[in-house]
Amino acid sequence: MVTAYDEPSGRLCDAAGVDVLLVGDSVANTVLGYPDTLHVTIDDMARHTAAVARATPSALIVGDLPWMSYHVGTDDAVRNAASLVRAGAGCVKLEGGAIRTPVVEAILQAQIPVMGHLGLTPQSVLAMGGYRVQGRDLDAAKLLLDDSHALADAGCFAIVLEGVPDALAARITAELGIPTIGIGAGPGTDGQVLVFHDLLGLGNRPLAKFVREYAQLGMLVTEAIGRFAADVRSGAFPGAEETYAAGADLRAALGE
């Protein structure tokens, strides 16, 4: 799974053969320039989901329910999940464990598949007191294990495990009958997810330990745009091959 936020990122990830495109609320940090994911709304998420859907990918599109779109009541949550489906998502994702099972069940009753998300859940950054690995001691690990069972029992078809120790992620994966998708959860999950901008070296934030940069496109992009600017300043761009040349008659009429 890779995150995608617009038509180009959806198209490129789909062409690369990924199975799942997550229109993540990380769009807040990666594209919209916010400091955290608490700033994006359901309207933002619907707009980005629709843009990814316009790539008509073969991959499953997961629409991420943003903070406060499923916290106020189940009716509200179902309506918001439906708006992501109408925008083109094949399912929705939400953060949290046992506390979220009524919402998961309500969305499932509307025939919308739900992906869970446990561990370092960025929408809980204020409650967690920062972005910290979760489930490090036995009590916290047991709570996460219980939460994973609660989500699976409620009907989630898969669970993202973010920022948890490898042995805990492997244990949850072994115990659950549904797939887990890890990010900062070690190699023992069924799948893995990375954020598009992290994977491609397009971000401007320090990379987390769990990120592997498969390219450094940011440097390439800055270098290419710098060459364009230099060519414009020197007059080397545009050249004859990038110019619609006027015919002789027009030139004469213009007095050239």
Which residues contact residue 240 at a Cβ distance below 8 angstroms, ignoring those fewer than 6 apart?
none
Tokens of 9: 């990122």
Which residue, among 135, 43, 132, has the nearest Cα to 80 in the 3D structure?
A: 43
Question: Is 176 or 199 the residue whose CB approaches ligand KIV more closely?
Answer: 199
What is the rounded distance in angstroms from the CA atom of residue 89 to the CA atom of residue 112?
Answer: 10
Closest contact distance (angstroms) between CB of 237 and ligand KIV is 37
Residue ranges in 37-66 that form contacts with ligand KIV under rule CB under 6 A: 64
Residue 37 and residue 29 in contact, taking contact as beta carbons nearer than 8 Å: yes
Task: Kindly write out the interface string for residues 14-33 of this chain, putting x where it contacts ligand KIV by CB under 6 A and - elsewhere.
Answer: --------x-xxx-------
Which residue, among 175, 215, 214, has the nearest Cα to 192 in the 3D structure?
A: 214
223 a catalytic residue: no
Which residues contact residue 41 at a Cβ distance below 8 angstroms, ignoring those fewer than 6 apart?
66, 69
**Catalytic residue chosen out of the listed positions 95, 162, 241, 256:** 162
Element (H, E) at 114: strand 114-119
Closest contact distance (angstroms) between CB of 1 and ligand KIV is 8
Give the distance from CA 129 to its chain's centroid: 22
- Residue 199 as a binder of ligand KIV (CB under 6 A): the answer is no
Question: Is 176 or 193 the residue whose CB approaches ligand KIV more closely?
Answer: 193
- Residue 3 as a binder of ligand KIV (CB under 6 A): the answer is yes
Task: Kindly write out the interface string for residues 79-108 of this chain, putting x where it contacts ligand KIV by CB under 6 A and - elsewhere.
Answer: ------------------------------
What residues line the site for ligand KIV (CB under 6 A)? Answer: 3, 22, 24-26, 64, 160, 162, 183, 193, 195
Q: Which residues are catalytic?
A: 162
